[in-house]
């Protein structure tokens, strides 16, 4: 018996000596769950030890249960790692570069790599930087659908990659100026006439511009736009004239005259899932009754013509009102934030964003440099006589140089006859219809202008100017005086040596024009 007892004790001591060396330490990912001592590893010492040899079976069962528990924890740990990896993959996907192609007005395209979260404003600023353009916050990306004859300007906050994913293969992006993108914030009454805004008719009072926009952007019960529109029948070439209402909930038309009763209103389109487009193909493609067409297209629709809602207004002001109200009611304060962001950046960095004033905008003084040092001429009569004398000497000097063999001012290769061709507002020999198209594409705001060669008079030029959403043309005729050619808009009353001086003058003075020249119609090659 004593021998059996001693052998049993000896076996227990050998087990305690051999077991720690035979069992390796296991890394514990959850010490607070499995280790009472909170240690980062699980050692055999941390496991419950059997009291004697009779409980060895219980010890083996505990070991098996512990192994199962550890396997479950390992599976849980791996699943957490996989979920974290999936989240990291989604975040990295946002920064994977996507390829888009943007075209300029001359048809030349440029491939741009952008991340998936890049907005239209960011893409425009990137193209402005690469093309060395003036960043005046008027550049925009245009979604162009040539098969349907539709196009629209992307909002600054829209993600370009998401818009491209919903475009058919033949559609493309255009890089273009749009001066009217936020013009309604500056002159809201020009975009929302009283007869088309419902609450203006009910109150019968003049609404201040700030209150007008405040009601459109902030009010829960915002005003509605109302009026007659032509609507094209689906699958037919015929059009119906219906009384329509544009509200925040959508575009409705009345099935009974001008009735606003809910039972007479039919929903035509939802604002949240649609975008408003301008029709660029004219009246022939859709047999429209007027030239002032626009279209409401579902955002996720690609090639289904039946889903297009073709509409037509009676005049340009009505069409502009409907399309502007569609944007304002759809996006609300988000549009105002897009409008204010450039101004906030400008105020934050005044030293870098303030444009340099041209010489013609600065206050000039008459100077006399006949002596050793220059002096300011304070007497107006003396200044006028000095200017006339300098002009007379300049004419004599130019005539003397022409007599010695220099090219005559009448010669086509002279500087005065070609220097204007380097300016962004000059577009050469384009037709009247082309100048109309360019003005309409860039916003039809007051003061938008371009210069072109005259088709009827090869020696003259034409100034195309937009005023009150109407495009007018003014002929610039040459006048000869003392062998020198001058250009004038008012039959010689005001003469200029070249077209650059003429444009600079009318940018500061209205003169015979209905308004000053403010925005040059520009085409930039990418």
DSSP assignment string, 267-305: EEE-STTEEEEEE-S-STTTT-SSSEEEEEEETT--S-G
Cα distance between the two ends of the chain: 103
Q: Return the SS3 of 383.
A: helix
pLDDT at 354: 39
In this prediction, residue 342 carries a pLDDT of 78
- Looking up tokens 């000097």 gives 397
CB–CB of 423/500 below 8 Å?
A: yes
Please report the pLDDT score of residue 143 as a whole number. 95
- Compute how many other C-beta atoms are within 10 angstroms of the C-beta atom of residue 35: 15
- Please report the pLDDT score of residue 352 as a whole number: 43
Both structure tokens of 187: 């002159």
Helix 316-331 crosses helix 333-348 at what angle (to 10 degrees)?
Answer: 80
- Close Cβ partners of 314 (under 8 Å, ≥ 6 residues apart): 228, 290, 292
Q: What distance in Å separates the CA atoms of residue 76 and residue 78, rounded to the nearest whole number?
A: 5
Q: Kind of pairing, strands 519-520 and 448-453?
A: parallel
Characterize 146-178 residue by residue with b for buried, 16 or more Cβ atoms within 10 angstroms of its Cβ, and e for exposed. Answer: eebbbbbbbbbebbbbebbeeeeeebbbbbbbb
pLDDT recorded at residue 187: 84
- The whole-number pLDDT of residue 284 equals 84
pLDDT at 463: 96
> pLDDT per position in the chain (526 positions), as tens?
445 545 555 655 555 554 544 444 555 555 545 545 444 444 555 545 544 545 555 555 556 555 565 666 667 667 677 666 666 555 544 457 888 999 988 788 889 888 989 999 999 999 998 888 888 888 999 999 999 999 999 999 999 999 999 898 899 999 999 999 999 888 888 888 888 887 644 445 556 656 777 777 766 666 789 999 999 988 788 899 999 999 988 999 999 988 888 899 999 999 999 999 999 887 888 889 999 999 999 988 766 778 899 999 999 999 999 999 999 999 988 998 999 887 676 565 554 443 444 344 344 566 666 655 667 776 777 777 776 676 556 555 555 544 444 444 444 445 555 677 788 899 989 999 999 999 999 988 999 999 999 988 888 999 999 998 899 999 999 988 888 889 999 888 888 988 999 999 999 998 899 999 999 998 877 7
C-alpha R_g of the chain: 38
| C-alpha span between 103 and 463 (Å, rounded) | 27
CB atoms within 10 A of CB 425: 21
**Tokens coding 482:** 């003392």
Nearest to 299 by CA among 259, 334, 256, 270: 270
pTM: 0.67
Q: What are phi and psi of 438, to 5 degrees?
A: -65, -40
Rounded distance between C-alpha atoms, residue 297 and residue 166, angstroms:
12
What pLDDT does residue 208 have?
Answer: 62
Strands (E), 106-236: 109-115, 139-145, 150-153, 172-177, 225-232
Partner residues linked to 197 by β-bridges: 225
């Amino acid at each position: 018996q004593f021998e059996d007892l001693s052998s049993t004790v000896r076996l227990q001591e050998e087990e305690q000596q051999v077991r720690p060396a035979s069992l390796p330490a296991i890394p514990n990912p959850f010490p607070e769950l499995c280790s009472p001592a909170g240690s980062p590893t699980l050692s055999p010492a941390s496991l419950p030890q059997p009291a004697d040899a009779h409980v060895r079976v219980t010890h083996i069962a505990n070991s098996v249960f512990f192994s199962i528990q550890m396997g479950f924890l390992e599976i849980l740990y791996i699943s957490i790692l996989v979920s974290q990896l999936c989240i990291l993959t989604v975040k990295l996907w946002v920064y994977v570069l996507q390829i888009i192609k943007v075209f300029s007005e001359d048809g030349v395209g440029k491939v741009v790599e952008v991340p998936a979260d890049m907005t239209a404003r960011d893409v425009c600023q990137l193209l402005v930087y690469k093309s060395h353009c003036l960043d005046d916050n008027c550049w925009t990306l245009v979604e162009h659908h040539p098969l349907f004859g539709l196009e629209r300007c992307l909002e600054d906050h829209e993600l370009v990659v998401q818009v491209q994913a919903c475009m058919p293969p033949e559609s493309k992006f255009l890089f273009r100026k749009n001066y009217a993108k936020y013009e309604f914030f500056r002159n809201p009454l020009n975009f929302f006439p009283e007869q088309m805004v419902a609450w203006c008719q009910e109150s019968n009072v003049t609404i201040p511009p700030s209150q007008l926009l405040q009601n459109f952007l902030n009010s829960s019960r915002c005003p509605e736009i109302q009026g007659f529109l032509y609507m094209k029948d689906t699958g037919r070439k015929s059009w119906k004239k219906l009384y329509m209402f544009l509200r925040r909930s959508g575009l409705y038309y009345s099935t009974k005259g001008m009735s606003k009763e809910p039972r007479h209103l039919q929903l035509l389109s939802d604002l949240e899932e649609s975008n408003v487009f301008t029709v660029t193909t004219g009246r022939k493609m859709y047999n429209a009754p007027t030239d002032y067409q626009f279209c409401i297209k579902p955002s996720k629709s690609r090639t289904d013509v039946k889903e297009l809602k073709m509409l037509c207004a009676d005049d340009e002001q009505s069409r502009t009102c409907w399309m502007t109200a569609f944007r304002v009611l759809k996006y609300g304060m988000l549009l105002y934030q897009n409008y204010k962001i450039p101004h906030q950046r400008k105020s934050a960095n005044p030293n870098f964003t303030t444009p340099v004033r041209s010489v013609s905008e600065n206050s000039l003084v008459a100077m006399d440099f006949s002596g050793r040092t220059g002096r300011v001429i304070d007497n107006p009569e003396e200044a006028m006589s000095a200017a006339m004398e300098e002009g007379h000497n300049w004419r004599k000097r130019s005539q003397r140089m022409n007599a010695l063999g220099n090219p005559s001012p009448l010669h086509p290769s002279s500087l005065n006859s070609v220097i204007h061709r380097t300016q962004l507002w000059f577009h050469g020999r384009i037709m009247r219809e082309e100048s109309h198209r360019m003005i309409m594409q860039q916003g039809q705001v007051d003061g938008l202008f371009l210069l072109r060669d005259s088709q009827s008079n090869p020696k003259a030029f034409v100034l195309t100017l937009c005023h009150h959403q109407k495009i007018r043309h003014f002929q610039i005729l040459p006048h000869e005086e003392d062998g020198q050619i001058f250009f004038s808009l008012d039959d010689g009353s005001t003469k200029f040596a070249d077209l650059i001086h003429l444009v600079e003058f009318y940018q500061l003075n209205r003169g015979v024009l209905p308004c000053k020249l403010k925005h040059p119609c520009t085409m930039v090659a990418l």
